[in-house]
Structure 1
């Protein structure tokens, strides 16, 4: 949980009320359990891996692995922008100062200690991060309870406690968005592969899911409180900064405390993203043959435009996350079809890439037809108009087409590829092997054993 949760959840609370906020928190928490469900199968199939792309390389080949690596790095790139944008908003709202210097210092500090400690240091900072979140929430609750006045006459008319059409739309959009996007988070996969046993993985995911749901609900409530205090209106353009707007009226010691802990949260999240990007680039592009020092320098160079975008361009933090979500909704479902060796053993990397890229094209076509404008179709790919207009079914349609269209296009590409190979083999009298089961599928359980046995061996082997 980085500083981004202090803005995105308050924004949705300010726009879609309690209904939308609860939908967001539940949809953000449940997908974490997906790692406990899918993780054991992937660890069994790829016991020597440590991120998702290792299994993809084994199952679909190097080109598909690089394809997934590109989108993984793109997702982390966008999340880094979102995190730095969030801490920028916190600093500038609470102090009125330019946040550029603080952002640069944060990047420099994380670059130094992740270079020294590697990904292990990210595990350590996550423990501090958990404590920081809890203390921050407690202090904010006490501060708001003693320093803000709520006009109860505004609660009913605001409509923020009622269910609404937008909240029901978000139930589908956010679940699909977050479920698929979590699969792009290399940091989550590093933790999945690092767990000692499948039972430990389930326990960890369960705790994380519960804590995430509770804390994100609490940090989203200020989005509604700011309306009831008269500081904001419903669906206010400053809804993302509702928490900081309320805090700015409190004693200076509370402001200082929140600012320090917000920076700490942001730092702990940014180091995980930074380390995960280093791991992904090193393993997927260079197969760990290039010194990590050079990879870290490359990542620092990538962070330079991230800082520029976070300071100068990015204003709607939730939109940044939604762009990554739409991409993941298009790419991930077709990849995970490959987990089923019984039904989809015939799928190849070509099919999966056609499905992911084809579904993004399908979203553009849908947007062009729905809005009767190619320009608007392009904007839909970037979720330009957000997801908060219940009268606009464009975003909902995009998040329907992305996963289901991707799956259909994947199967269609497989059918075309297999048919073409069949006619080619028939005309050349060559053996037709497109529907033969790969050898690793037939002998997988004999070679690898159970997931818990593999985890035990990996844990014992230094």
Structure 2
């Protein structure tokens, strides 16, 4: 490990820390700490959506999907990552009007459907966000080890500690302030790194591209993967409390609408750009590794100096998503208690990181748990959003969510002739997302919620 990448990472973390600590307002209340209510412009929100939505995963997943499945699947991934922000642009203003003093998605669930639905939404959000947080830190450790040959755990501790310091001190304002810097930094670094690796000759290690290149999967496969990713990513991200905090942080409905659109377009463009590098690596015939990492295959054939900006890029990606998740998790838990204090919010932020760091330190994969969380979110997202329709009752939402669980299992059960095998298939034993459980969950939950709502007697 050379001194330059370490110095660059250290400098970036110090800048993030300085910006985050300065963002705290004097005598901040708990509400200000959790929501920064009605203070943020469209540009700030857009940059924050971009920075908090992207993570180290964009250096792994989009390039691999593009290399092995092709541009159609990559387009699905980009749409899936952008669509949650467009949903926020559509339903966020309505939820702000329904709950002007709201702080979290669980507040909305409680207001519309009562404590049982709130408890289920809380469980889904916690599961998804904790998996996301652990996966980001684990990925960072892997990137540092891959690029430097050293122990990546120092980076896990450094990023966790720095983001924890400024989020515990400054709350949502600190996360928003650092997001602005991190968004511009990661866009600049993505452009620099992509430009360098795209123009670097493949070198003698490359082999001629075979007739059936990895990116030449059949169109039907590409469409299936694209639809799976759109459903999975959209459904799960709508349970990301960090995004909902920004709904109430928006200065007004117009700022939320424009900020969400800005975040959606920028996110889709970033994913498409990074994913295109995966297709480039495949077409150059580079050894993609096991498991395949097309982006890093290109980096390893680039000039040695590019390691430093790639590491800083990885740190910016992880820090921007981790600080949002830290603050979002604290808000999610603290808002479940009446008369919670600012000190409780800060200690919640700190204590939540202990098990996360412990798992990330071990380098354990949470991919299968991540996929299960995505599927569970898909069973509940439509009934929850249909709560914006006055006719959607608590019974309809509960019936829809239960039907979504059954719909996730039925495709596998039908194909295998065994309910047990259907349940196993819905837990993704091969660590690969498949379309049928997601379509089943989404379709069953939607149809049953609408039917039960339609059959319920109208209130006078």
Q: Which TM-score tier does this pair reach, normalised by the shorter chain?
A: 0.7 to 0.9
Specify which of 322, 332, 342 is matched with residue 371 of structure 2: 322
Q: By how many angstroms is 1:277 displaced? A: 0.5
Does the CA-based 8 Å contact 2:70-2:217 persist in structure 1?
Answer: yes
User: For residue 171 of structure 1, what is the aligned residue in structure 2?
Assistant: 226
Which whole-Å CA distance do the structure 2 matches of 1:358 and 1:293 have between them? Answer: 40
Q: SS of the counterpart of 2:212?
A: helix
Of 386, 398, 405, the match for 2:437: 398
What CA deviation, in whole Å up to 9, does each residue of 1:379-418 have, x standing for no partner? 4333332447xxxxxx2220111122123444677799x7
The answer to whether 1:364 aligns with 2:409 is yes
Partners of 2:285 and 2:366 lie apart in 1 by 22
Matched, 1:59 2:106: no
Match of 1:4 among 35, 57, 76: 57
Give 1:53-452 correspondences, 5 Å limit.
53-149=106-202, 153-154=208-209, 157-158=212-213, 160=215, 164-232=219-287, 237-239=290-292, 241-283=293-335, 285-287=336-338, 289-312=339-362, 314-315=364-365, 317=367, 321-341=370-390, 343-344=391-392, 347-348=393-394, 350-372=395-417, 376-387=421-432, 395-410=434-449, 435-436=458-459
Contact in 2 for aligned 1:43/1:193 (Cα 8 Å): yes
Q: Describe the superposition over 1:166-219 as per-residue Cα deviations: whole angstroms up to 9, x where unpaired.
A: 211123222222222221111111112222222222211221111111111111
So what's the TM-score if we normalise by structure 2? Answer: 0.80
Q: Partner of 1:221: helix, strand, or coil?
A: helix
Aligned to 1:441: none
CA deviation after TM superposition for structure 1 residue 94, in Å: 0.7
In the TM superposition, what whole-angstrom CA distance separates every residue of 1:309-338 from its partner, at most 9, and x where no partner exists?
335464475x55433321111011111222
Equivalences, count: 405
Using a 3 Å threshold, how does the CA distance of structure 1 residues 145 and 182 change in structure 2: closer, same or farther?
closer
For the 8 Å contact 2:76–2:225, the answer to whether it is kept is: yes
Shift of 1:269: 1.0
**How far does the alpha carbon of each residue in 1:417-441 deviate from its partner, in whole angstroms, 9 at most, with x for none?**
x7xxxxxxxxxxxxxxx7536xxxx
2:404 and 2:445 in contact (8 A); partners too: yes
The runs of 5 or more residues in structure 2 that have no matched partner are 1-53
The 8 Å contact of residues 355 and 407 in structure 1, kept in 2 or not, is answered as yes
Partners of 2:357 and 2:316 in 1: CA distance: 18
- Residue 93 of structure 2 corresponds to residue 32 of structure 1: no
| Conserved? CA contact 2:327–2:349, under 8 Å | no
Q: Which is worse superposed, 168-177 or 265-274?
A: 168-177
Structure 1 residues 363 and 26, CA gap change in structure 2 (3 angstroms)? closer
CA shift, 1:84, in A, is 1.4
Q: Report if aligned partners of 1:32, 1:209 keep a CA contact under 8 Å in 2.
A: yes
Helix, strand or coil: the match of 1:154?
A: coil
The Cα of 1:299 is off from its aligned counterpart by 4.1
CA-atom RMSD, angstroms? 2.7
Q: Which runs of 5 or more structure 1 residues have no equivalent in the other structure? A: 389-394, 419-433, 438-462
Q: Which whole-Å CA distance do the structure 1 matches of 2:362 and 2:378 have between them?
A: 28
Mapped contact 2:186–2:316 kept (Cα < 8 A): no
> How far apart are 1:97 and its partner, in Å?
1.9
Deviation at 1:31, TM superposition (A): 3.4
Q: Give TM-score scaled by structure 1 length.
A: 0.79
Tell me, yes or no, if the aligned pair for 2:171 and 2:327 is still in contact at 8 Å: yes
Are the counterparts in 2 of residues 93 and 245 from structure 1 also a CA contact under 8 Å?
Answer: no
- The alpha-carbon deviation at position 369 of structure 1 amounts to 3.8
Please give the alpha-carbon distance, in whole angstroms, between the structure 2 residues aligned to 1:302 and 1:101: 19
